[in-house]
């Protein structure tokens, strides 16, 4: 969800664009290499032009954010909307402007500052990455993709995103939004598979522009297109710069006929109970007795399971006497 510094402006393209005169849109295909070669150069310019005109002004996209700001945003934006991330991101960077600042604090402080962003293990992973950056790279987020991937808590997506968005490198950056754009525009289906496939990775690599800076811009632009226009529901094709070339639209928008898409439930789940338990511990600056935690959820078996899970994940530290706190080590 981040982007490199904006290059010189391209021509406006906020209306539906079509193929050049005398050309037909490429047919939908499931072969990644063929699809990428046929579609890449036709998609790059209109999508990047659209991005130049419509990209949101977000703090992690500004030059002063640096690689650390980009990395923090990528951790926070996983499965969390921008509107919820913005205030926490600003507070986080004000308190910990460099990895070494975060590394100097207890991991529990990262969990506390994470607030209600959800999936709090991300806070522990970001703290672990900050410690490794401080110890291995003199406090600077590495630019090398392999070194990024070697950091704790960093997977293929985050390594590619930081290398691309912070350092302008040529990498396929595949988040849910990008996968949906590629599924519709190139392969002609409504939704991508539930989990990223080898075929999707091959297609993303085939679609990458050869020029490194253009590739980084393409990664950000295709992601923004999926976030703002080619959304999971109620897509706004009349605003899409590649609608006239979209294989799914040209096929009449056939409905998804693959495996059921996973929905996200929250109410009554262990996730909700974990969140309530963590909320008590975040507010407390001294160890919390078991009895205080017991009041947050009525069902004792589920409550105990949620608390045990938090302990197993390293998010909560049990102490003698039935006390609990956020982790100090």
* Integer CA distances (angstroms), 258 to 160, 202, 226, in order: 28, 20, 20
Q: Known catalytic residue: 74?
A: yes
- Give the containing element (helix H, strand E) for 303: helix 300-312
Contacts 24+ apart (CB under 8 A), 77-85: 77/1, 78/119, 78/122, 79/118, 79/119, 80/117, 80/118, 80/119, 82/1, 82/56, 82/58, 84/116, 84/117, 85/117
For 325, residues 6+ apart whose C-beta sits below 8 A from its C-beta are 108, 281, 284, 286, 287, 288, 316, 317, 319
Q: Which of 23, 64, 74, 200 is catalytic?
A: 74
Asked if 248 and 82 touch (Cβ cutoff 8 Å), the reply is: no
Helix 82-95 vs helix 107-114: crossing angle, to nearest 10: 140
Asked if 35 and 205 touch (Cβ cutoff 8 Å), the reply is: no
Interatomic CA distance for residues 112 and 114, integer angstroms: 5
As given in the structure block, the two tokens for residue 94 are 């004000």
Residue count of the chain: 329
As given in the structure block, the two tokens for residue 227 are 């976030």
Asked if 108 and 325 touch (Cβ cutoff 8 Å), the reply is: yes
CB count, 10 Å around CB of 238?
A: 9
Which sequence positions are flagged as catalytic? 74
């Amino acid at each position: 969800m981040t982007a490199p510094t904006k290059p010189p402006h391209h021509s406006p393209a906020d209306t539906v664009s079509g193929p050049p005169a005398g050309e037909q849109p490429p047919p939908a295909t499931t072969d990644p290499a063929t699809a990428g070669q046929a579609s890449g150069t036709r998609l790059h310019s209109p999508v990047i032009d659209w991005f130049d005109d419509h990209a949101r002004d977000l703090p992690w996209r500004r030059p002063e954010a640096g690689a650390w700001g980009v990395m923090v945003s990528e951790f926070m934006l996983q499965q969390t909307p921008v509107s919820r991330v913005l205030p926490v991101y600003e507070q986080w960077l004000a308190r910990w402007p460099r990895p070494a600042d975060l590394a100097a604090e207890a991991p529990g402080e990262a969990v506390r500052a994470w607030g209600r962003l959800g999936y709090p293990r991300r806070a522990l992973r970001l703290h672990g990455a900050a410690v490794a950056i401080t110890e291995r790279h003199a406090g600077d987020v590495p630019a090398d993709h392999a070194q990024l991937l070697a950091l704790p808590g960093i997977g293929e997506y985050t390594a590619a995103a930081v290398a691309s968005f912070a350092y302008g490198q040529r990498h396929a950056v595949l988040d849910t939004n990008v996968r949906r754009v590629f599924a519709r525009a190139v392969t002609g289906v409504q939704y991508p598979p539930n989990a990223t496939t080898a075929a999707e990775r091959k297609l993303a690599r085939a679609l990458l522009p050869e020029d490194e800076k253009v590739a980084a811009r393409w990664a950000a632009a295709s992601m923004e297109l999926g976030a703002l226009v080619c959304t999971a529901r109620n897509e706004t094709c009349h605003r899409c710069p590649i609608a006239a070339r979209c294989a799914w639209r040209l096929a009449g928008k056939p409905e998804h006929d693959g495996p059921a898409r996973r929905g996200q439930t929250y109410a009554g789940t262990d996730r909700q109970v974990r969140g309530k338990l963590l909320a008590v511990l975040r507010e407390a600056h001294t160890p919390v007795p078991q009895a205080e935690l017991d009041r947050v959820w009525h069902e004792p078996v589920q409550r105990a399971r949620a608390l045990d899970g938090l302990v197993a994940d390293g998010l909560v530290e049990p102490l003698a006497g039935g006390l609990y706190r956020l982790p100090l080590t």
